[in-house]
Amino acid sequence: MTMAKILVPVTGAPRDSIALATAFSIAKPFSAHIVALFVRPNPWEALVYTATPYPSSVTQQLIDDAVAFAKESANHARKTLENEAGKAGAQVLPKPQRMPGCSCSFHETQGYFAHVVTQASLLADLVVFGPLSSPGGVDINQAFVDTLLRIDRPVIIAEEAPNRMIRTISIAWDGGTAAAQALIAAIPFLSHAEKVEVFTVLTVTGRDHDIAAVSDFISLHGFSCTEHRVPAEGKPIAQVITEHVRQRNTDLLVMGGYGRGHLRESLFGGVTAETRWNPAVPTLMAH
């Protein structure tokens, strides 16, 4: 298994550099191609409709301002891609193309951001997002949820740009379907890792969710891993996971996304909801 195409939604915001730096650190071992996708909104969406129509001059000014802002944002996103590509030693190409090393291209289109991103993710091996808690992230958050839940594509979210390649991988296991999908999505990364561990959080029930079976599965793919059973000690599971991966100096956390359902976690909280807003390390999720 390999990684050929990585999609990175960009908006011209500071989060772009984090998402792109993360994507390049992932792409380099696979000589993968990164597509930075910028979506221009329909300029008519800048209009706020009222009972009293705007004068035509005001309408045109609002549209012109929206077009100018989108152009400025696109230019900023393109420059960020070029800067991060330069740091990674990657080639910037006019369109996706298989090259000896990792490469990238910039694609600009118009439409509804979340819809365009989720449609583009259909033909991507992985989608990488920067901080979802940054200001002005409503559209990108919807794109994250739709990509993960509707398109069933593995995603990576990162709060900070990684300072090294992926060497240590921690797989959080709860015995659920989402965790299994995340594990399978992470298989390509295992061949480039120096240390792999699978761990489960022991709650009051004491269940370890049979992590030995996970080790056997990983072994059949030709990789070794260690097993850890981490007691919760009354702490929220998300907190336990965060503390554990920080102690392990983990480069990539692998976990299921919304295993209990998006609506339920949005209303009552959950591991995915907590990790989504504040990932301790770059986190691969699948549903």
> Residue ranges per domain, the chain?
5-157, 168-286
Q: Is the pLDDT of residue 264 over 50?
A: no
**Strand-pair category, 168-172 with 155-157:** unpaired
Q: Is the pLDDT of residue 137 over 80?
A: no
Please tell me the distance from the alpha carbon of residue 7 to that of residue 120, in angstroms, as a whole number. 8
Residues 6+ apart with CB under 8 A from 142: 113, 114
| Phi, psi dihedrals of residue 252, rounded to the nearest 5° | -145, 120
Q: Is the pLDDT of residue 281 over 90?
A: yes
pTM of the model: 0.91
With beta carbons less than 8 A apart as the criterion, state whether 24 and 90 touch.
Answer: yes
The mean per-residue pLDDT over the stretch 71-79 comes to 96
Q: Is the pLDDT of residue 158 over 60?
A: yes
Q: Tell me whether residue 171 is exposed, middle or buried, using C-beta atoms within 10 angstroms of its C-beta: 0 to 12, 13 to 18, 19 or more.
A: buried
Q: Is the pLDDT of residue 219 over 90?
A: yes
User: What pLDDT shows up at residue 267?
Assistant: 36
As a dihedral over the C-alpha atoms of residue 167, residue 270, residue 113, residue 64, rounded to 10 degrees, the angle is -110
User: What pLDDT shows up at residue 53?
Assistant: 65
pLDDT-based confidence at residue 260 (cuts at 50, 70, 90): low
User: What pLDDT shows up at residue 269?
Assistant: 45
Please tell me the CATH superfamily of domain 168-286, with its number.
HUPs (3.40.50.620)
The mean per-residue pLDDT over the stretch 57-69 comes to 76
User: Higher pLDDT residue, 118 or 61?
Assistant: 118
| H-assigned helices in 99-232 | 113-121, 138-149, 177-190, 211-220
As a dihedral over the C-alpha atoms of residue 37, residue 11, residue 81, residue 6, rounded to 10 degrees, the angle is -40
Q: Is the pLDDT of residue 163 over 90?
A: no
Q: Average pLDDT over the chain, rounded to whole?
A: 89
With beta carbons less than 8 A apart as the criterion, state whether 3 and 27 touch.
Answer: yes
User: Higher pLDDT residue, 46 or 218?
Assistant: 218
User: What pLDDT shows up at residue 160?
Assistant: 93
User: What pLDDT shows up at residue 259?
Assistant: 59
* β-strand partners of 231: 202
Q: Is the pLDDT of residue 255 over 70?
A: yes
Q: Is the pLDDT of residue 7 over 90?
A: yes
User: What pLDDT shows up at residue 133?
Assistant: 82
Map residue 7 onto helix, strand or coil. strand
When the candidates are 3.30.360.10, 3.40.50.620, 3.30.420.280, 3.30.70.141, the CATH number that belongs to 5-157 is: 3.40.50.620
The mean per-residue pLDDT over the stretch 118-130 comes to 97
Q: Is the pLDDT of residue 40 over 80?
A: yes
